[in-house]
Amino acid sequence: MNKIIFLPRLQRERDKFELLLNQAGFLRQLTMAGVFPSLSIKDLLADVLCREQFIADRLSEILHGEPYAPSVSYSAFENFQRENGYPDYESPLCHREKLNYAVIEKYKNISLDDIVEQELAAYASIQSAMIRLTQEQCLDHDLFHRVAEQTYKIYRRTSAEILRWQRSITGEPK
């Protein structure tokens, strides 16, 4: 993989995700519970925000030559989340495919507009960092895979949940 291929792919996936969110927002479904058990699209967007902020912070560390090592003990894992406000998503102790309800609870009383604003800023940080990083840095730190794991793979999973929920409330066949 290289940046010439990766960056447009990231943007295409992002555009698809934003289009779905805009459609749901137009229908005023962003704060309706029930998308994923009792969660709303806003709650799922908080999860997306935290994953993007996680990788944006790792990219910033790489740009500044700061080390990062995934948490390997439970105390280190808990300290990481307490210090950063999101889990260490690359830790072997993290359930990567599961939603982190502590993160969602943290954003319960934050307005949708604030979550959207923070999420857009996190995505912009990712884009900016990926542009500034060299191809060698991207390869040395396995960034194409790591960024995909915290961005467009999450967009796809979240989109699938939103579409499944929308079909269920409109009565369309699955």
- Residue-wise pLDDT for 75-89, tens only, equals 999 999 999 999 999
Range of 46's domain? 3-65+100-170
- Predicted local distance difference test score (pLDDT) of residue 99: 83
The CA distance from 31 to 14, in Å, is 21
Mean pLDDT in the chain?
A: 92
Q: Is the pLDDT of residue 155 over 60?
A: yes
Structure tokens at 147: 């960024």
User: CATH no. for residue 163?
Assistant: 1.20.120
Q: Which residue has the tokens 């699938």?
A: 160
- Predicted local distance difference test score (pLDDT) of residue 23: 85
pTM score: 0.92
Count how many Cα atoms sit within 13 Å of the Cα of residue 149 in the half-sphere of its side chain: 14
In a domain, 132, yes or no: yes
- Predicted local distance difference test score (pLDDT) of residue 76: 97
